[in-house]
Amino acid sequence: MSEHKTLKAISDLHLASEANRDALHALPSFRNDWLIVAGDVGEKFEHIRLAFETLTQKFEKVFWVPGNHDLWAIPETRDARPLAGEARYSALIDCARAYGVSTPEDPFEIWNGAGGPCVIAPLFLLYDYSFRPDAIARDEVVSWASEQGSVCADEFFLDPAPWQSREDWCAARCAETERRLQDIPVGMQTILVNHYPLRSDLIHIPRVPRFTPWCGTRRTENWHQRYNAKVVISGHLHTRRTDWRDATRFEEVSLGYPRQWDQTKGMSHYLRDILPA
């Protein structure tokens, strides 16, 4: 295996858009580099497969975590019954593994290139509506958000079956993930990868300020400290930025919809170098 040069990251490829698919095809080869894809590849399996097939040819190793769009119960054809909830997630995992892509269900791998060693921990945590003002009750949060037109399409498309609710699924995912993270050797630095931001104070979406309930869970606010994170990677917000909290670097690495990035620069311009810093 060749020496790793760079660990890169991107998210929110949204390959339902033709411009984004064209940019994916035009992406040059980074055969010695590893790539983290932090969710929202696309709503259909044809786009998920396209991403995995293309990216694994262009990078030495690819990691992926699911975003909410990947989990939407969207039929592949007009008459097909869509996969939903855990069944859809399991099918996405199988799809990723068929291309050799590392997922939240696989053993954590270690980056030994420049800036390492670091455990790369792909996470699937969802959200539980707790990123909301304290004065707003859970059963009021959707109506509160809708007052400013911020209701997430997940309310219609992200079926949590067999869980009773998305927050129940989130709680189960967080508990299972905590058990796995606690097994990382003491002192080992980590790179935590989640589609959603781990902290509410990292959410900067002034156009839709009441979208926050669909952006994460308060359970993870201190995970960067608990699990010795060197870098935390997320997407979802479509607001590319770098933040620092408690000496940990937080990277929002979204590409976004065609109107949200400069197509003349190509997708490679939006690959974020994670390590070396």
Q: Predicted confidence band at 4 (pLDDT cuts at 50, 70, 90)?
A: low
Work out the pLDDT band at 1, boundaries 50, 70, 90. Answer: very low
pLDDT of 77 > 90? The answer is no
pLDDT in tens, 135-181: 999 999 999 999 998 999 999 999 999 999 999 999 999 999 999 99
Distance between CA 32 and CA 27 in Å, rounded? 15
Distance CA 65, CA 58 (A): 18
Share of residues in the chain with pLDDT > 70 (%):
99
Query: Mean pLDDT over residues 232-251, rounded?
Result: 98
Q: Indicate if the pLDDT at residue 36 is higher than 90.
A: yes
Q: Does the pTM exceed 0.75?
A: yes
Rounded average pLDDT over 23-34? 97
pLDDT reported for residue 79: 76
Question: Which tens digits make up the pLDDT trace of 218-241?
Answer: 999 999 999 999 999 999 999 999
What CATH class has 7-275?
Answer: alpha beta
pLDDT one-digit tens code per residue, 178-223? 999 999 999 999 999 999 999 999 999 999 999 999 999 999 999 9
Distances (CA, A) of 223 to 18, 50, 174, 218, 241: 37, 33, 11, 10, 20
Asked whether the predicted pLDDT for residue 2 surpasses 70, the reply is no
| The pLDDT of residue 3 | 57
Give the span between the Cα atoms of 167 and 126, in whole angstroms: 8
Indicate the domain borders of the chain.
7-275
> In this predicted structure, what is the pLDDT of residue 247?
96
Q: How far apart are CA 258 and CA 64, in angstroms?
A: 21
Tokens found for residue 21: 């698919």
Percent of the residues in the chain that have a pLDDT greater than 90, as a whole number: 95
pLDDT of 75 over the 90 cut: no
| Contact indicator for 244, 251 with CB cutoff of 8 Å | no
